[in-house]
Copies of this chain bind each other. A is one copy, B any other.
Amino acid sequence: MKLDHNHIETINKKELSQHQADFDFLANRLEQKGNHINGLIEKLCAFQVAIPSWALGAGGTRFGRFSTKGEPSTLEQKIEDVGLIHSLTKTAGAISLHIPWDVPKDYKAIKELADSHDLIFDAVNSNTFQDQKNSPFSYKFGSLCNTDQKVREQAIQHNMDVIAIGDKLGSKSLTVWLADGASFPGQHNFQAALTNTQYSLQSIYKSMPQDWKLFIEYKPYEPNFYSTVIQDWGTSLMLANECGERAYTLVDLGHHLPNTNIEQIVSTLMLKGKLGGFHFNDSKYGDDDLTVGSIKPYSLFLIFNELVYGMENNPQNPYPAWMIDASHNIKDPLEDIIQSLEAIQEAYAKALLIDQNKLREAQLNYDVTLCQEIIQDAFRTDVRPLIAAAKIRSGGAINPIKAYRELGLRSKLIAKRGNSVASGL
């Protein structure tokens, strides 16, 4: 299933005149303040976020899962879903695969399918936090950190396989998230676990093609509840440094202890040229994996402030790989992702509005009141007309959620797929 662009245009038409008035008013105000509207829209158009293949069906918790209908059950259908999202939003031009859930049978066909949806393959993700049928060794007590060399080798080999798959699809990076850790004091030797993890990551790093990057994710807890080997950005950075130049830290917004200042971590990593990837979601308590911007939109904006600053001022840092990493337990997964994309665009647009020169001057004058005024002026601006303008320019829908509903896409998916259930989590 593929969206006909005419359908989107028809829907847009109904809102176009109101949009134009809103946009003109906002553009005029922003230009008065010295913004270059066209440049802003171009940046918004260029900002593309990968959708992970496992996030297109209903997620759940250890207490259960309430399924949704019309979920994709094949890689083809997953690509189709991301294609729909991208058609509507024009900000989801990539898909991130998870192996072994998404091993293609016919690589050429899969590449062509993705291409037909205007999608590229972003970072590939390995999975050593679950046991696979027929695997000789279990990851119950760790994978890359395991004290048993045979388990480590199996996990390293799996990562190599994932790289090989990604390579065939045009991916250029591997994301390693490790559940490795301990649930009880004394369960493992911290130093042995860390050292084993380092050696394993170094092996994987060395096996990557020369133009590939390695992203090392960190997380303080869950599924282990006493310690996690890569518990924070400091550990991740240390390991990335041990691996080499093309190894980076990956920040997932939900992977922090309560009250962590994440924007400062982002800023430090970009200063060091080591922020490789970024996973978006939102949370109130732990790794809640909620819709981006649904709980703490101001934090997201502050983080984007640092990302924008780094992209402008830190040539030592590569352009980060963006991905949504959320779980859709009670909303339609596609609607949930669209809301996330809107929130990301909003935070990005607002961060772009911050007058960095004025801010710098206020900072140098210790004028804290004014610093806050400058930051909040950007945040308080209603940037939706700007985002809509970017959508229109790219061929997307002015209001993607509304368009998704008017086009009856979920019903069509159900009609086509039935109550099929997504593979994966």
Contact A226 B330 (CB under 8 A): no
Contact B284 A286 (CB under 8 A): no
Number of interface residues of A (CB under 8 A): 106
Determine if A374 is an interface residue (Cβ-Cβ < 8 Å).
Answer: yes
- Residues from chain B with Cβ under 8 Å of A369 in the complex: 331-332, 335-336, 339, 401
What are 24 A-B interface contacts by the 8 Å CB criterion? Answer: A22-B29, A62-B425, A63-B222, A64-B131, A66-B140, A184-B330, A185-B298, A186-B371, A186-B372, A187-B330, A187-B363, A194-B267, A221-B259, A222-B286, A225-B283, A226-B290, A226-B295, A258-B258, A285-B286, A286-B286, A296-B296, A297-B298, A331-B368, A332-B369
Determine if A244 is an interface residue (Cβ-Cβ < 8 Å).
Answer: no
- Most chain B CB neighbours (cut-off 10 Å) among A25, A188, A192, A368: A368
- Residues from chain B with Cβ under 8 Å of A425 in the complex: 62-63
Mask of A167-194 contacts with B, CB within 8 angstroms, 1/0: 0000000000001000111111111101
Contact B225 A185 (CB under 8 A): no
| Complex Cα spacing A61 to B130, Å | 11
| Complex Cα spacing A26 to B309, Å | 31
Contact A131 B66 (CB under 8 A): yes
- This protein's copies in its complex: 4
Partner of A234, one of B139, B233, B373: B233
Within 8 A of B (CB), among A247-282: 257-261, 263-264, 267-268, 270-272
| Complex Cα spacing A373 to B131, Å | 28
- Residues from chain B with Cβ under 8 Å of A234 in the complex: 232-235, 237-238
Given contacts A185-B375, A257-B259, contact A190 B267 (CB under 8 A): yes
Given contacts A184-B294, A190-B264, contact A221 B285 (CB under 8 A): yes
Interface locus among A8-16, A79-87, A206-214, A379-387: A379-387
Determine if A319 is an interface residue (Cβ-Cβ < 8 Å).
Answer: no
| Complex Cα spacing A272 to B272, Å | 20
| Complex Cα spacing A130 to B212, Å | 43
Contact A66 B138 (CB under 8 A): yes
- Residues from chain B with Cβ under 8 Å of A183 in the complex: 288, 290, 329-330, 368
| Complex Cα spacing A103 to B332, Å | 34
- Residues from chain B with Cβ under 8 Å of A390 in the complex: none
| Complex Cα spacing A332 to B184, Å | 13
| Complex Cα spacing A284 to B309, Å | 23
Determine if A346 is an interface residue (Cβ-Cβ < 8 Å).
Answer: yes
Contact B366 A141 (CB under 8 A): yes
Residue in B closest to A299 when the chains form the complex, CB atoms: B296
Partner of A235, one of B260, B268, B374: B268
- Residues from chain B with Cβ under 8 Å of A195 in the complex: 271
Determine if A71 is an interface residue (Cβ-Cβ < 8 Å).
Answer: no
Mask of A291-316 contacts with B, CB within 8 angstroms, 1/0: 10111111100100110010001100
- Residues from chain B with Cβ under 8 Å of A313 in the complex: 191
Quote the shortest CB–CB distance from A130 to chain B (angstroms): 4
Contact A184 B372 (CB under 8 A): yes
| Complex Cα spacing A139 to B147, Å | 43
Partner of A261, one of B179, B226, B258, B382: B226
| Complex Cα spacing A284 to B228, Å | 12
Given contacts A185-B375, A290-B184, A366-B141, contact A63 B225 (CB under 8 A): no
Residue in B closest to A68 when the chains form the complex, CB atoms: B140
Contact A302 B190 (CB under 8 A): no
Known: A185-B302, A259-B285, A296-B298. 15 other contacts (CB 8 A): A22-B29, A64-B131, A183-B330, A184-B290, A186-B372, A186-B374, A190-B271, A190-B306, A191-B270, A191-B313, A220-B285, A221-B286, A235-B268, A297-B379, A369-B401
